[in-house]
Amino acid sequence: MISTMRFVSTRTGESLSFQDAVLSGWAPDGGMLLPETLPPVSESLLKSWAKLTYSELCLEIFKLLIPDSEFPHTEFEDVFLSSFAGFGCLEVVKVKDAPLPLPGGGDPLVVHVAELWHGPTLAFKDLGMQVLARVLQKILVWRQEKQIMLVGTSGDTGSAAIEAVREIPEIGIVVLYPSREHSNVSRSQEVQICRRVGERSVRVVRVQGGSDDLDVPIDELFHDSQARSTYNLGSLNSVNIVRMLMQLVHLFYCYLQAEPTADRPAVLSIPTGAGGHIAAALLAVKMGLPVRRLLAATNENDLLPRFLATGCAKRGRVVGTTSPAMDVQVPYNIERILHIATGGDSDRVALWMDDFYSDGELCVDHATLAALVALKLESVSSDCGEVSDAVASVRAASGGYVVDPHTGVGLAALRQGVSAEEATQGPFLCMACAHPSKFPEFLGGLPGPTPSMPDTDHPCVSELLKLVAEAVDSEPIVTAVFEADNNQDWSKKLRDILDELQACM
């Protein structure tokens, strides 16, 4: 347990307290935040965690990272108890074994699928979002402040954020999401994002553009110090440090569910969009999580695999895929990844990110690339056909187990990246991002007979199916639509919405 902990900017090394880091989201200089130091997790400590519940492990890891003087640990106990009360299973997170046939034949790979989706919106983001909302509320109450959360989403983040904060009087929220004409956001996802429009503290904007397009006005506001102060803007995206710390928890938890003796290092496959989960995994490796290979699994939006192959990558146009939450060509957490790889060299990171955001190209030196390799990081890209084949092969081999397309990207990476010779050297873990009920179009397009919807007795699944059925003939209502031919005015329109929301709080 540590007595002090600061969170440092990736751009200048400026540091913030835990409370200020949570409220800020981004660092004041426009960078991202990371723990200044990492407590080591010894083998004996790791093994002692094997019998803890998910909530208990949350508390132990947060106690390691956050001093009691900064956020009382008894308050964390309350946060974790209340955060998971609305989840659909007592375990909060389940790990299930699934057979994954490899292309070369032979025995299937036994994959420990970490079901992170048992929360109210059936996405892994509920795990971090519910905790973050309650941490924020406590800090805002202590400081007698209110805050507006500005969130861009390409899939599950928006609905998870809204559900987490909608009943917290100290917080208002504005969510921007890409229209279905410009993205592969599913009907179920859109219905979830829009279901709370009309509530006092919730505003939702449909943008006629892709996820990278909607990030432009959001980034402009977050990098405008006057706007950030005027609206007291905060972030619930993976930029927020609490989201990253919660990802640390489930990485350790799922490893111990698969390997309770902690004897063997794991191969982790993590579906990757903005890169927050991978950045958290690198921190976990540095702390002591036993990992043999860390696979950043991407879809056709393959900037990260290209970057890791050569040290250089150029931003391209977003490719629409069956895994829309990962349709990202600007994985902004790459800034954190580079800061970790350079040992905290904020000057170099700032220079690289300035080039990336201005020219769309990122090039780093050989030593930085070698440092990422030393941290076991690899990246594998899969196309929609490979993803469908991976999901269908698991369904056939298991007798009916079905996963969503984002989890399918993780399975496809294992199919490509693991040889028959390595298949006996487990454990192999794949992070399962969302429940397949959110993607009925994907399930209907799988090879073979259309699978029946799984887990219909799960309370969160049954609620979603009912919600979608009731909205089948109606267009989801939004607060505003940002037209494609007026994108120069998006920032002004967004400020107008913030003004109106602030007046209602």
Rounded to the nearest 10°, the torsion over CA 195, 197, 199, 203 is 130
Report yes or no on 164 lying in a domain. no
| 471 vs 437: CA distance, rounded Å | 15
Contact 28, 225 (CB under 8 A): yes
Quickly state the pLDDT bin for 66 (edges 50, 70, 90). Answer: very high
Mean pLDDT, residues 6-31 taken together: 93
pTM, entire model:
0.92
CATH number reported for the structural domain that contains residue 388 in this entry: 3.40.50.1100
Report yes or no on 255 lying in a domain. yes
Quick check: 487 pLDDT over 80? no
Domain of residue 397 covers 94-120+243-437
Number of helices and strands in the chain (H, E) = 20, 16
Q: Which amino acid appears at position 394 of this protein?
A: V
Report yes or no on 429 lying in a domain. yes
Mean pLDDT, residues 340-346 taken together: 97
The reported pLDDT for the residue numbered 185 is 83
Tens-digit pLDDT profile for residues 200-226: 999 999 999 887 789 889 989 988 889
* Residue 53 structure tokens: 């519940």
Cβ atoms within 10 Å, residue 152: 25
Residues 6+ apart with CB under 8 A from 256: 46, 49, 50, 262
Q: What share of the chain is helix, strand, coil (3-state, %, to 5)?
A: 45, 15, 35
Q: Select the highest-mean-pLDDT range: 32-46, 151-165, 320-334, 418-432.
A: 32-46
* Residue 182 structure tokens: 């410009």
Tens-digit pLDDT profile for residues 289-325: 999 999 999 999 999 999 999 999 999 888 989 998 8
User: What's the number of domains the chain is made of?
Assistant: 1
Count Cβ neighbours within 10 Å for each residue of 110-137 and write b for 16 or more, e otherwise: ebbbbbbbbbbbbbbbbbbbbbbbbbbb
DSSP bridge pairs for 186? none
Report yes or no on 377 lying in a domain. yes
Quick check: 449 pLDDT over 90? no
Q: CA-based diameter of the chain, in Å?
A: 64
Report yes or no on 15 lying in a domain. no
Report yes or no on 233 lying in a domain. no
| 438 vs 431: CA distance, rounded Å | 17
Tens-digit pLDDT profile for residues 163-202: 999 999 999 999 999 998 888 788 888 999 999 999 999 9
DSSP bridge pairs for 152? 176
DSSP bridge pairs for 7? 16, 35
Count Cβ neighbours within 10 Å for each residue of 25-53 and write b for 16 or more, e otherwise: bbbeebbbbbbeebbebeeeebeebbebe
Report yes or no on 38 lying in a domain. no
| 52 vs 55: CA distance, rounded Å | 8
Report yes or no on 480 lying in a domain. no
The reported pLDDT for the residue numbered 212 is 78
CA torsion sign for 352, 358, 359, 360 is positive
Q: Which amino acid appears at position 379 of this protein?
A: S
Which phi and psi (to 5°) does residue 252 adopt?
Answer: -65, -45
| 3-state SS class at 432 | strand
| 253 vs 58: CA distance, rounded Å | 9
| 487 vs 304: CA distance, rounded Å | 28
